[in-house]
């Protein structure tokens, strides 16, 4: 699959590279695994002097040996003797950058915690002493959100406040997914688009796998996901083990419950038979894997809330793959697929709501998008999109089948929205179904 989108991100990286010709730049690029960070920097720095250094979980001495060789080959930085400490290697890089301009990229930067946690303090000391005379374009990339957040956003960590640029690479937008589909299968159906969104969530590697395999239909995508050699069968476990480490079992159980529809705190605590508050907070705040949904414009103190897995692929994986690991291990993948098909329509009902919520944000017309429900759970609006500046917006019912939508019922729900929160907004009732994708 060819390279798509990322014009804004490439512009940021290239502008930082240009600025580094005069003053050192330190960029932090985060993003979940497989989202396309390496492809992005490769595209952005074509034809430039770049050293790409992947931080593997080796010993410090072995890692430094690999880095030293890469620096010699890619930037012609000659070092006499064998460097065995990261501080010495980083000092060589920074001193060389005082003589000439170049880019150094550390990929999976957070793995340095496994190598030697003291490295970050050593980097801070060398950076503080040398960066004012340097012309380096330093880029650190990482895919474990909790560790990258700790390294660069915890004020007690040595590298806090050092970066000059920070941004997160997000999955492809819906418009980009449509463009990819138009290029590969111009006659795609909306059902195919919804399935692609459900499985990949726009993550570049997942989209590439399906497109390169010629999986342009819902049927072929689900077949591919359930193949014996399918990348998707183990990907969720690999991602989560990397994030959670020793506490993975508890987190896996919570995410399985949420994906299966038990998304309220009381339900989760009851099923797990203990207070899961600390784990849920970690999943939301530190790992960024779940979001806590509240009725739009509700007060921060409102106890009316529900949890939802933020990542589309993980939502799919924890619903249809992880609970049935015994089928995967025994190779009974036809049964796995049958179960996917049985639950597909119900599951993608919520996926379709998320699709249109994401689409509304992409238009740039609205400042906040969400849904709303009352305490009793009787009145529920699938999508509300508001513009806080001109006090306009839409309220929409979202259903796979347009015949199940009643605009008169929708209007009645809008009229019964609490005036204290929505009274200043002029809302238009809408209906969205598969036909409107």
The DSSP H or E segment spanning 351 is helix 333-362
- CB environment 279-314: b (16+ within 10 A), e (fewer): bbebbeeebbbbeeebbbbbeeeeebebbebbbbbb
> What is the model's pLDDT at position 303?
81
* Residue 209: predicted pLDDT: 97
pLDDT band at 378 (very low <50, low <70, confident <90, very high): confident
- Whole-number Å distance between alpha carbons of 233 and 18: 42
| Predicted pLDDT of residue 302 | 81
For residue 193, name the pLDDT band (cuts at 50, 70, 90): very high
Average model confidence (pLDDT) for the chain?
A: 95
Q: What pairing do the DSSP bridges indicate for beta strands 368-373 and 380-387?
A: antiparallel
At 109, is the pLDDT very low, low, confident or very high (cuts 50, 70, 90)? very high
Res. 395 pLDDT band, cuts 50 70 90: very high
Instruction: Give me the pLDDT at residue 143, please.
Output: 95
On whether the CB atoms of residues 285 and 298 are closer than 8 A, the answer is: no
User: Confidence class of residue 379 from pLDDT cuts 50, 70 and 90?
Assistant: confident
Band the pLDDT of 388: cuts 50, 70, 90.
very high
- Check pLDDT > 90 for residue 301: no
Question: Where in 344-408 does DSSP place strands (E)?
Answer: 368-373, 380-387, 392-398
pLDDT of residue 74: 97
- Tell me, what's the pLDDT at 375? 82
Q: Residue range 281-293: average pLDDT?
A: 93
DSSP H helices, 54-133, are 60-75, 86-97, 112-115, 119-130
| Predicted confidence (pLDDT) per residue in 154-170, tens digit | 999 999 999 999 999 99
Compute the average pLDDT of residues 379-393.
96
**Residue 258: exposed, middle, or buried by beta-carbon count in 10 A (0-12, 13-18, 19+)?**
buried
In this prediction, residues 67-86 reach a mean pLDDT of 94
Give 405-436 pLDDT, tens digit per residue. 998 999 999 998 999 999 999 999 999 999 99
- Kindly write down the DSSP assignment for every residue of 156-183, as one continuous string: TSTTTT--SEEEEPPPPPHHHHHHHHHH
**With 90 as the cut, is the pLDDT of residue 252 above it?**
yes
Number of neighbouring beta carbons within 10 Å of residue 369: 20
- Band of pLDDT at residue 80, cut at 50, 70 and 90: confident
What's the DSSP call for residue 110? G
Q: Which whole number is the average pLDDT over 364-370?
A: 96
The whole-number pLDDT of residue 317 equals: 98
**Rounded distance, CA 145 to CA 230, Å?**
26
- Dump pLDDT digits (tens) for 125-141: 999 999 999 999 999 99
pLDDT band at 104 (very low <50, low <70, confident <90, very high): very high
Q: How is residue 420 written in tokens?
A: 């204290």
Nearest to 353 by CA among 323, 378, 373: 373
**Over 90: is that where the pLDDT of 242 sits?**
no
- pLDDT above 70 coverage of the chain, percent: 100
Write the DSSP assignment of 37-68 as a string of letters: HHHHHHHHTTTS-EEEEE--SS-HHHHHHHHH
**pLDDT for the residue numbered 304:** 85
Q: Which two tokens stand for residue 404?
A: 């199940």
Q: Is 358 exposed, middle or buried (0-12, 13-18, 19+ CB in 10 A)?
A: middle
Cβ pair 394, 428 in contact under 8 A: yes
**What is the rounded average pLDDT of the residues 172-194?**
97
Separation between Cα atoms, residue 204 and residue 270, nearest integer Å: 37
pLDDT confidence tier of residue 243, bands split at 50, 70 and 90: confident
Give the Cα separation of 155 and 162 in Å (integer). Answer: 11
- Give which of 102, 115, 104, 68 is closest to 88, Cα–Cα: 68
Share of the chain above pLDDT 90, in %: 92
pLDDT at 376: 76
Nearest alpha-carbon partner for 32 in 256, 308, 182, 236: 236
Whole-number Å distance between alpha carbons of 100 and 82:
23
Q: SS3 of 78, please?
A: coil
- The tokens describing 200, both together, are 């990949």
Instruction: Determine the Cα–Cα distance for residues 268 and 260; give it in Å rounded to an integer.
Output: 11
Q: Are 270 and 130 in contact (CB under 8 A)?
A: no
Task: Report the pLDDT averaged over residues 208-224.
Answer: 98
Query: For 105-118, b where at least 16 C-beta lie within 10 A, e where not — what string?
Result: bbbbbbbbbebeee
What is the per-residue pLDDT for 185?
96
Statement: residue 52 has pLDDT above 90:
yes
């Amino acid at each position: 699959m060819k390279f798509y989108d990322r014009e804004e991100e490439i512009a940021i990286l290239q502008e930082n590279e240009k600025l580094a010709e005069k003053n050192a730049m330190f960029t932090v690029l985060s993003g979940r695994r497989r989202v396309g960070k390496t492809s992005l920097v490769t595209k952005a720095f074509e034809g430039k002097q770049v050293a790409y250094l992947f931080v593997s979980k080796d010993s410090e001495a072995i890692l430094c040996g690999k880095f030293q060789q890469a620096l010699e080959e890619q930037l012609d930085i000659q070092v006499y003797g064998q460097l065995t400490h990261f501080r010495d290697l980083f000092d060589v890089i920074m001193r060389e950058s005082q003589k000439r301009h170049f880019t150094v990229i550390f990929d999976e930067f957070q793995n340095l915690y496994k190598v030697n946690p003291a490295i970050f303090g050593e980097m801070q000391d060398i950076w503080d002493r040398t960066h004012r005379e340097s012309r380096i374009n330093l880029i650190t990339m990482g895919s474990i959100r909790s560790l990258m957040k700790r390294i660069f956003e915890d004020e007690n960590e040595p590298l806090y406040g050092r970066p000059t640029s920070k941004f997160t690479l997000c999955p492809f937008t819906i418009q980009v997914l449509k463009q990819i589909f138009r290029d590969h299968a111009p006659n795609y159906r909306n059902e195919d688009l919804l399935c692609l969104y459900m499985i990949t969530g726009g993550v570049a590697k997942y989209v590439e796998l399906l497109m390169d395999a010629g999986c342009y239909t819902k049927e072929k995508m689900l077949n591919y996901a359930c193949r014996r050699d399918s990348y998707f069968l183990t990907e969720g476990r690999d991602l989560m083990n990397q994030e959670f480490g020793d506490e993975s079992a508890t987190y896996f159980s919570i995410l399985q419950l949420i994906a299966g529809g038990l998304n309220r705190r009381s339900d989760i605590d009851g099923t797990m038979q203990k207070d899961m508050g600390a784990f849920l907070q970690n999943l939301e705040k530190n790992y960024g894997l779940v979001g806590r949904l509240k009725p739009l414009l509700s007060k921060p103190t409102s106890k009316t809330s529900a949890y939802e897995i933020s990542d589309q692929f993980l939502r799919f994986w924890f619903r249809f793959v992880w609970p049935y690991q015994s089928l995967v291990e025994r190779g009974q993948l036809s049964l796995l697929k049958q179960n996917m098909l049985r639950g597909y329509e119900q599951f993608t009902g919520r996926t379709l709501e998320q699709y249109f919520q994401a689409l509304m944000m992409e238009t740039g017309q609205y400042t906040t998008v969400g849904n709303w429900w009352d305490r009793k759970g009787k009145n529920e609006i699938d999508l509300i999109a508001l513009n806080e500046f001109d006090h306009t917006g839409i309220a929409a019912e979202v259903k796979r089948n347009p015949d199940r939508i009643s605009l008169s019922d929708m209007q009645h729900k809008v009229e019964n929205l609490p005036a204290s929160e929505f009274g200043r907004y002029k809302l238009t009732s809408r209906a969205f179904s598969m036909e409107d994708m």
